[in-house]
Amino acid sequence: MTLTGKLLIGQHAITGHREAIRGIDPATDAALEPAYFGGDAGQVGQTCALAEAAFDPYRETSVEQRAGFLDTIAQEIEALGDALIDRAMAETGLPRPRLLGERGRTCHQLRLFARTVRAGEWLDVRIDPAQPQRQPLPRADLRQRQVPVGPVAVFGASNFPLAFSVAGGDTASALAAGCPVVVKAHGAHPGTSELVGRAVARAVKACGLPEGVFSLLYGSGREVGIALVSDPRIKAVGFTGSRSGGLALCQAAQARPEPIPVYAEMSSINPVLLFPVALRNRGEALARGFVASLTLGAGQFCTNPGLVIAFKGPALDAFVADAAEHLQHSAAQTMLTPGIFSAFESSVNALAENALARIAAVGQRATGPNQCQAHLFVTDAVDFLADRRLQAEAFGAASLVVQCEDFDEIRQVTEHLEGQLTATLHLDDGDLEQARALLPTLERKAGRLLVNGWPTGVEVCDAMVHGGPFPATSDPRSTSVGTAAIQRFLRPVCYQDFPDALLPQALRQANPLGLRRLIDGQREA
Ligand code: NAP
């Protein structure tokens, strides 16, 4: 399949007017063809106009049409075959099995949203029938449903070139909600983005939808990205990436005459608490599991375990020694981009130069560009509490063990943490009381709490929360993974005293969509 290097504005492939970027093979630093020219302000405006024009017809599609569209996108992505995997490998340095798994996850995610659309629970229909005889005042007939917010701008993430990118979770949930999507491609995988973008555009055409339902733009975040977020026709934003990038988009969205929500997933160090009985009983197994989770994918996961908290003493010393032993033998891995590699190097160098932390182990070195060498550091609770820099995210395979003198220090360290995507508890029966005492704090800090597992690996399902208080995300009420992600792109509308014939189908008395409605406070069976 020949790559064109063009923007996809609806069904039209158009060459951008601004400077070009190329994909880089991070294993060799070689630039890849073709060049992708960035869009200019006029092209961003043209795209947003198409998205706006598509909004009303698209949101009026039936649940079956919309679900069929999501299923068709999944089929079109699968039909790309090896061409997609080969290009993604060249652009990201990620191994084939990982990318095959990620393609499976991406298509599963699209089909899960298709199922969600068909089930109709997202419409959240609430009906409070009229009470004309009520005293002292009669009650009107009130009916509520959810409607899509409008065109959504999606920023593809570098670390999941398929599952969090052009047709990833943000796009799938926005399309499921009934919102047209404009993607700002991540510069780290432009060719992968084009292949997937063209697959989505083919699905738009095959399903007979208005072309503005999906567009794909290239260009710099500061130019195309900010222009997109500032365009009055865009009504919400989905983003995964750095804290500074996410905050810049939040500021641009708030500076608009009409501010809009930005759902940015940014920075998390995912604390792991090792409770004393578990640490004594199975410290060696914990050390092995920890290093496997830490080094998975060169640590380039937002749920990477970047902080370990435990009681100081022989059991923790043994855990650190075992983890150091495993980590020293861990092979270096190619990072996604030269930029991410250099950010990782700066982060580990800053920790190495910080007198309050000591290096416990460093992974294998390798020749070649952009090679991530895993790092493990150790510090004491008092020092961790004294220096905020010790809880900065080092995106890559680096983690810090915080040694606590007593339970009060564990509580202080936990309380001191910023918002997190996850918090993990390793515990045995004898640890339950201490774990229970920390739960209120952990619930305030994190979006997902796990027991006796590792935070990497985020299931795409109904119950998942991939979110959390700032800086994990910009809106702690939301999740970017799982079917609840659709709620970010919906808003409620109430219809008062509407004649049945004028009501949307979801709210009609005869319930033609077969929904489980909340009627006068009672959920229908
Ligand atoms: P990034 O720099 O935040 O870039 C993500 C997207 O946002 C890109 O499309 C980028 O466009 C755009 N962007 C960045 N800064 C912007 C700004 N000031 N204004 C407007 N748009 C902006 O993230 P990245 O390239 O994926 O990785 C860089 C760092 O982000 C990593 O080293 C890591 O620290 C962090 N990261 C965190 C996670 C996580 O899940 N927590 C995931 C990935 C990365 P341009 O590149 O075109 O400017």
The angle subtended at Cα 106 by Cα 272 and Cα 55, nearest 5°, is: 115
Q: How far is residue 185's CA from residue 192's CA, in Å, rounded to a whole number? A: 9
Pocket test for ligand 1, best of 242, 269, 481 (most atoms within 8 A of CB): 242
| Domain covering 8-266+476-488: architecture | 3-Layer(aba) Sandwich (3.40)
Query: Contact 59/491 with Cβ under 8 angstroms?
Result: no
* Distance between Cα 241 and ligand 1 center (Å): 4
* Distance between Cα 448 and ligand 1 center (Å): 23
Please provide residue 184's backbone torsions phi and psi, each rounded to the nearest 5 degrees.
-95, 110
Residue stretches of the chain with pLDDT short of 50: none
Cis peptide upstream of residue 136 (ω within 30 degrees of 0) = yes
181 lines ligand 1 (CB under 6 A): no
419 lines ligand 1 (CB under 6 A): no
Q: Please choose, from the candidates 468, 343, 445, the residue with its C-alpha nearest in 3D space to the C-alpha of residue 394.
A: 343
Q: Whose CA is nearest to atom 16 of ligand 1?
A: 245
Query: What's the whole-number average pLDDT of the chain?
Result: 98
Q: Whose CA is nearest to atom 15 of ligand 1?
A: 245
Is the four-CA dihedral 38, 43, 45, 46 of positive or negative sign? negative
| Phi-psi group of 482: left, alpha or beta (phi > 0 → left; psi -120 to 50 → alpha; rest → beta) | left
Q: Which residues are catalytic?
A: 265, 302
Q: How far is residue 507's CA from residue 501's CA, in Å, rounded to a whole number? A: 10
Burial class, 320, CB count within 10 angstroms (exposed 0-12 / middle 13-18 / buried 19+): buried
Q: Whose CA is nearest to atom 22 of ligand 1?
A: 221
* Distance between Cα 459 and ligand 1 center (Å): 23
187 lines ligand 1 (CB under 6 A): yes
Instruction: Give tens-digit pLDDT for 6-61.
Output: 999 999 999 999 999 999 999 999 999 999 999 999 999 999 999 999 999 999 99
Q: How far is residue 316's CA from residue 98's CA, in Å, rounded to a whole number? A: 33
Pocket test for ligand 1, best of 91, 158, 220 (most atoms within 8 A of CB): 158
Q: Whose CA is nearest to atom 12 of ligand 1?
A: 221
Q: How far is residue 373's CA from residue 360's CA, in Å, rounded to a whole number? A: 13
Matching CATH number, 271-451, of 1.10.1530.10, 3.40.309.10, 3.40.50.150, 3.40.720.10: 3.40.309.10
226 lines ligand 1 (CB under 6 A): yes
375 lines ligand 1 (CB under 6 A): no
Q: Where are the domains of the chain?
A: 8-266+476-488, 271-451
pTM of the model: 0.97
* Distance between Cα 155 and ligand 1 center (Å): 9
pLDDT the model gives residue 1:
77
Q: How far is residue 378's CA from residue 376's CA, in Å, rounded to a whole number? A: 7
340 lines ligand 1 (CB under 6 A): yes
414 lines ligand 1 (CB under 6 A): no
pLDDT the model gives residue 115:
98
243 lines ligand 1 (CB under 6 A): no
